[in-house]
């Protein structure tokens, strides 16, 4: 799981982790960025794909992001466990299973960000997000209250639990500079009789002026808050089922 030194799980529920940087602008033309960036990472990330999709961008003077269509170029390593995405003023660093620990992921982020900065010469940061996605199995004889310390209270008039469901909660941190978004949703795995719940933690920088370009220090703080939230949201028996590992 996403742990600092001394905490690691043998059987972590983590399936995806990503770090997103958005910059207001870059000094280098986007098409030139793609070519120069690929030259630096081609040996380790040989697979290249282009995708169009929906993204979120924060406009000048606005706190809430707006939905926009954007094109992204994705670079993947040979086994597909690590990906880097580039867009207009956008850098996303992605680690799929297996996820070793935060220190390893942080090194991946630091090296990729350094390469991007040399090539793109980005200006002021607009947004940073650190997101961890966990898939938690819930046995048929378990209630959500036996798995999660955070969740729903369903009035007795409803004779069954909602199906599907989505619980989305936002918490302010650092006097409103940051926000932690926790999402709990149903996720039934294909070809499985086991119910699964997706537990997302997305820690976002709301006020970029508050970090003075100390991006990696902000990431360390974001990770620590996510880690504490993860332990708080799951019951002790569930945490123990992941098997703590000494490091």
Res. 2: pLDDT tops 50 = no
Average pLDDT over residues 91-111: 95
Task: Round the average pLDDT of the chain to a whole number and report it.
Answer: 88
Res. 6: pLDDT tops 70 = no
> What local confidence, expressed as pLDDT, does residue 243 receive?
86
Among 18-27, 95-104, 169-178, 192-201, the minimum mean pLDDT is found in 192-201
The closest alpha carbon to 169, from 202, 198, 134, belongs to 202
Cα dihedral 199, 75, 85, 124 sign: positive
- Residues ≥6 apart with Cβ < 8 Å to 180: 170, 171, 173, 201, 202, 203, 204, 225, 226, 229
- Residues ≥6 apart with Cβ < 8 Å to 61: none
In the chain, where are the structural domains located?
Answer: 8-245
> What local confidence, expressed as pLDDT, does residue 55 receive?
57
- State how far Cα 130 lies from the chain centre: 4
Q: How confident is the model at residue 3 (pLDDT cuts 50, 70, 90)?
A: very low
């Amino acid at each position: 799981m996403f742990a600092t030194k001394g905490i690691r799980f043998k059987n972590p529920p983590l399936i995806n982790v990503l770090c997103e940087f958005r910059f207001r602008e870059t000094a280098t033309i986007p098409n030139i960025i793609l070519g120069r960036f690929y030259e630096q990472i081609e040996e380790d990330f040989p697979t290249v794909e282009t995708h169009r999709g929906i993204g979120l961008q924060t406009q000048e003077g606005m706190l809430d992001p707006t939905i926009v269509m954007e094109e992204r170029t994705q670079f993947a390593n040979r086994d597909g466990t690590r990906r880097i995405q580039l867009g207009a003023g956008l850098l996303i660093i992605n680690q799929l299973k297996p996820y070793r620990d935060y220190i390893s992921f942080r090194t991946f982020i630091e090296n990729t960000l350094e390469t991007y900065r040399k090539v793109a010469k980005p200006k002021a940061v607009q947004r940073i997000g650190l997101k961890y996605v966990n898939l938690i199995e819930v046995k048929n004889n378990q209630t959500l209250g036996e798995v999660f310390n955070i969740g729903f209270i369903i009035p007795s008039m409803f004779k069954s639990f909602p199906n599907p469901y989505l619980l989305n909660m936002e918490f302010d941190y650092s006097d409103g500079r940051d926000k932690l978004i926790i999402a709990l949703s149903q996720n039934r795995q294909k070809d499985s009789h086991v119910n699964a719940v997706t537990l997302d933690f997305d820690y976002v920088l709301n006020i970029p002026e508050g970090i003075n370009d100390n991006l990696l220090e902000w990431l360390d703080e974001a990770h620590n808050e996510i880690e504490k939230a993860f332990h708080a949201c799951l019951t002790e028996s569930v945490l123990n089922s992941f098997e703590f590992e000494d490091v």
